[in-house]
Structure 1
Amino acid sequence: MPVIDGSQTIRLAPNYWPFVVPALVVVGAVIVFPWAFTLWMSVNRWTLGQSRSFAGMENYLRLASDPRFWESLVHTLTYTLSVAAPMLLGTLAALIFDARFPLRGLLRGVFVMPMMATPVAVALVWTMMFHPQLGVLNYLLSLVGIPAQEWIFNANTVIPSLVAVETWQWTPLVMLIVLGGLASVPREPFESAEIDGANAWQQFRYLTLPMIAPFLMIAVIIRTIDALKSFDIIYAMTQGGPGTASETINIYLYNTAFSYYDIGYGSAMAVVFFVVIVALSFALLMLRQRSQWIDTEGK
């Protein structure tokens, strides 16, 4: 209640804590506590069904000498590089759908349909298509005289096959992001470029690409983080096989914690992987800060 003393009025500051506390409780319960508990488990020697004991940095030192962990890290980074394919194809698709032609809206809707499917459903469909004897892909290859491939059943081709599925499903997302950037690009610089005699490639290289660079960086950040933590499609299609040829850190972590019940070692792996993701995300955000809107008049 305000206190009035003559001509002076004292107003109490509004209290926002009743609105902030519920959010803080949710954040603490959903984010802070799980990570604090994971850190605590990572410094313990803990296998389900056995007694727990303090291990200090033992689990982290074990990671440094674990060849399977380093192999899974290489697989994770290799799989993450697959973001280059949907970036290129998504940008190309955005340029195509930005033009005006008949049935453009219908074709846009068809193009984004893979992104709407659930990952496990996508994995099951592509697993059937990749079947060496019964899959439709080998049948199509036989029509043009190409020998049948083993796809996800061969250690040499399993990662490229998974990258193909990743590209098929998430190229539409990149297309939508870039298409939004193209919709915000002003037309005046292109009209001036046409008057000056610039061809289509020159307009794209010196006008379109610099203007949509912030949107491309957003797409790169989203897809890189998503590819790093990808689990469902890989596990549903290969379970990390054949052998460990497609075992990413997520798959190895899952097997360690929930198949071998080594909770302490799996928690240490989760902490290290989290640090890798944070470092890479920070680097990408720094690059995002450097991508500025380009003044086409050179001012």
Structure 2
Amino acid sequence: MTATTTLRNTPVLTRASDWANKHRKWVLAAPAIIFVLALMVLPLAYTMVLSFTDAQGSIQRAFDFVWLDNYVSILTDTTRFWPAVWRTLIFTVVAVSLEMTLGMAVALLMRKPFMGRRAVRVAMLLPLVATPVAVAMMWLLIFEPTIGFANQVLGWFGIAPQGWISDPATALPTLMLVDVWQWTPMVILILLAGLVGLPEEQQEAARIDGASNWQRFWHVTLPMLKSTIIAALLLRSIDAMKTFDLLYVTKGTGGGSSHEVETLNIYAYALSFDYNEYGMASALVLIYFLLIVAVLVVLTMRRKGAQR
């Protein structure tokens, strides 16, 4: 008997081999799982440690633990933090609501065959192809107050030029519309995929019973599509809350002293890279993270309820 055969026949190696073979799906996936967890847990743990300190300026200098002082300072800040929270929520709710409404309407239209449907689908995907920074730069030129195309169109109808992004009153609504333009196609694709997979028997039965188009949509299509709708709502809500590129490129770190489009993402960036308040920024990021997790939990619970 060779040494290799003896080694393989040892009880320890035999048990280990049997265990690995029995749990091979976890053994094979373990390296990827460990890698992903390391990418998530280590930065989150380091951010949590920094959030309890007065780290600022050079991160190499010694810092002291201030524990919950950063969280208290942020949560009691009514000048920038709470307005940023409301802007984040308003941006998310309004933009996602418009995207879901338009996405559903267009998906219902595109479900039916018509001439040039393939060309329309290709054109619909164009906003998704461009990077967020490129989209922001394009719309920044379109909304330019003096030579922008948007004000030229208004001039054709005798309407006075608008400030669009430069006006504090219209900056956030304007950027909501840009977000709707860019991400509605993704909602359309998700809802259209769900519509295509729906059975036609219920629709035919409702049509035979004399139900109108609206009644068939409200009482037949919508309930069967609820799981897909919640999935699209989940993806877009989380993504909209994290919007950074569009807001930063068009308005920098909040557009000066008015901070008219300063969401939590922009505020965290300003604390880190403009004011070098790394401890405060870390606390803000963790609060922001918990807010996103709360939204994720709520939407996930609704999705489970819809599936039941």
User: C-alpha displacement at 1:23, in angstroms?
Assistant: 2.6
Q: Does residue 1:63 correspond to 2:74, yes or no?
A: yes
Map Cα deviations across residues 259-295 of structure 1 (whole Å, 9 max, x no partner): 11111000000011111111111001011111137xx
Give the deviation of 1:191 after TM superposition: 1.4
Tell me if 1:37 matches 2:46.
yes
2:128 aligned to which of 101, 115, 120: 115
Task: Say which of 228, 241, 265 aligns to 2:255.
Answer: 241
TM-score (norm 1): 0.91
Give the structure 1 partner of residue 280 of structure 2.
265
Residues 142-164 of structure 1: CA deviation (Å, up to 9, x unaligned): 11122211011011101100100
1:112-261 correspondence to structure 2 within 5 Å: 112-239=125-252, 240-242=254-256, 243-261=258-276
Cα offset, 1:101, TM superposition? 0.7
Distance change >3 Å, CA 245–CA 190, structure 1 → 2: same
Q: Does 2:13 align with 1:13?
A: no
- Cα distance change on mapping 1:28 and 1:104 into 2, 3 Å: closer
Contact 1:2 1:12 in 2 (8 A): no
1:80 aligns with 2:92: yes
TM-score, length of structure 2 as denominator length: 0.89
CA pair 18-287 structure 1, distance change in 2 beyond 3 A: closer
Give 2:86's aligned amino acid: V
Q: Which has the higher helix share?
A: 2
**Partner Cα separation in structure 2 for residue 176 and residue 2 of structure 1:** 56
Provide structure 2 residue ranges, at least 5 long, that are not aligned to the other structure. 1-7
Shift of the 43–112 alpha-carbon distance from structure 1 to 2, 3 Å rule, reads: same
Evaluate the alpha carbon distance shift between residue 31 and residue 137 of structure 1 in structure 2; reply closer, same or farther with a 3 A threshold. Answer: same
- Name 1:46's counterpart in structure 2: 55
The percentage of counterpart residues that share the same residue type is 38
* Structure 1 Cα separation of the partners of residues 83 and 68 of structure 2: 21
In structure 1, stretches of 5+ residues that fail to align are 4-9, 294-299
Deviation at 1:14, TM superposition (A): 3.2
- CA distance in 2 between counterparts of 1:37 and 1:229 reads 20
How many residues of Structure 1 are paired with residues of Structure 2 in the alignment? 289
Letter of the 2:102 partner, please give it: L
Would you say the 8 A contact 1:228–1:277 is kept in 2?
yes
Structure 1 stretches of 4+ moved >6 Å: none
- Contact 1:41/1:264 (<8 A) preserved: yes
Which among 109, 119, 131 is matched to residue 106 of structure 1?
A: 119
Distance 1:286 1:292 in 2: 10
